[in-house]
Chain A
């Protein structure tokens, strides 16, 4: 792991990078429906595609707290770009770091670090979302290969991915397979007409008799969901928690700035007490969410047994307040808030996605409630 001042420096540089290379173009990325290849290459050079990986694998070796702060900076500038690191680094990369064999790590991680290979996480299907253990994509073993068949939907970065971490069911239960595009039999189709994530290369994917070498299974047949998918989703939720704070913070910046610049009734907007109420709430929620994310990060860093739960709570909370604050930021902007020349219009749409991905808010509520019903029981 890098020492603290190095890590602070990396996050400060990421903030500058986001300000120069990402934020000014976020609306264009949406319009072009693409995070440009050039940006992905620059991010790879800076180490942002592997910021949390141990240095041994070419990563920046950021601990969870600093990796979270870096995710926040990228997510503040552009949610689709943050989506790339959520799936490539947090979901797929961290699952390999945790459960890949030495050979798998040696083969895949350096290519993911350098950005030569982009990875996506293929769990959701047209008919299977929240009930993820019921995936209909199948694997079957034939000699030294697995044959994979099925469809996946809403897969972030699916259009540009070289590696697909595919969750499929078979004889021994659910398995997680690192499927390479060059194996053939894979068709990716961009999904158009999305509310948000429009630049995130979201795809529908067909796997037709894809032949996957046996050594590409991560973990074991039957333990793919329990260990590999759960590990990936835990890292994904952590990333989304910080993504939520990124959106909330960006909306707050825009709300405050606008309220100090625009006047009505001969007074700046912020002078109206009802606007002050909105701003006061937005500041409070953002600080609270950030504190939760930092706490979850520290618990992850320290291997605290409740780290998974705190991460879930942080994800649920920040996605919710990102939605609330972006709704208010649009309100403070009035008509301009409904116009895509103003970032709050995009932030408002992006926030909604966070309440749906990596486990919907309803699922988080159930998990948190189940935890609370025991933890806080007094007789």
Chain B
């Protein structure tokens, strides 16, 4: 699976709104749209670390690194992770 697809799937699995209410583009800010909550932010970091094999450091703790599919993919790529595991 492509990196962005994996990220999208993870987000879709963790929405706080129902699937049919959650249409979003890769560039949309999913926090501002209210599709995910702050627990999601923490789960996302755990997911990126365990699935993408990179370490998220305290310096990386900017919500803007994680608020859209595009931004998350960019972050993972910058950190040199993202080898799809399947």
Given contacts A303-B50, A374-B15, A374-B19, contact A234 B42 (CB under 8 A): yes
- A308 and B61 form a contact (CB under 8 A): no
- B58 and A230 form a contact (CB under 8 A): no
With a cutoff of 8 Å between Cβ atoms, the chain B residues found around residue A39 in the complex are none
Chain A interface mostly: helix
How many interface residues does A have (CB within 8 Å)? 24
Binary per-residue interface labels of chain A (345-379) against chain B in the complex, 1 for a CB within 8 Å, 0 otherwise: 00000000000000000000001001001100100
Indicate if A216 sits at the interface (CB-CB under 8 A): no
With a cutoff of 8 Å between Cβ atoms, the chain A residues found around residue B61 in the complex are 99, 219-220, 223, 226-227
With a cutoff of 8 Å between Cβ atoms, the chain A residues found around residue B19 in the complex are 374, 377
- B42 and A231 form a contact (CB under 8 A): yes
Indicate if A100 sits at the interface (CB-CB under 8 A): yes
Indicate if A161 sits at the interface (CB-CB under 8 A): no
With a cutoff of 8 Å between Cβ atoms, the chain B residues found around residue A374 in the complex are 15, 18-19
- B58 and A308 form a contact (CB under 8 A): no
Bound-state CA distance A220–B64 (Å) is: 12
- A99 and B47 form a contact (CB under 8 A): no
Indicate if A101 sits at the interface (CB-CB under 8 A): yes
With a cutoff of 8 Å between Cβ atoms, the chain B residues found around residue A163 in the complex are none
- A305 and B47 form a contact (CB under 8 A): yes
- A226 and B16 form a contact (CB under 8 A): no
A289-322 interface (Cβ within 8 A of B): 303, 305, 307-308
Bound-state CA distance A133–B31 (Å) is: 15
Closest chain-B Cβ to A167's Cβ sits at a distance in Å of 13
Binary per-residue interface labels of chain B (32-62) against chain A in the complex, 1 for a CB within 8 Å, 0 otherwise: 0000001101110111011000000011011
Bound-state CA distance A305–B42 (Å) is: 10
Bound-state CA distance A377–B20 (Å) is: 12
Bound-state CA distance A212–B73 (Å) is: 36
- B62 and A230 form a contact (CB under 8 A): no
Instruction: List A residues at the B interface (Cβ < 8 Å).
Output: 99-101, 133, 218-220, 222-223, 225-227, 230-231, 234, 303, 305, 307-308, 367, 370, 373-374, 377
Instruction: List B residues at the A interface (Cβ < 8 Å).
Output: 10, 13, 15-16, 18-19, 38-39, 41-43, 45-47, 49-50, 58-59, 61-63
- Given A227-B41, A305-B10, 8 other A-B contacts at CB below 8 A? A100-B58, A225-B38, A227-B42, A227-B61, A234-B42, A303-B46, A303-B50, A308-B42
9 CB contacts below 8 A, A to B, read A219-B61, A220-B61, A226-B41, A226-B61, A227-B41, A230-B41, A308-B46, A370-B16, A377-B18
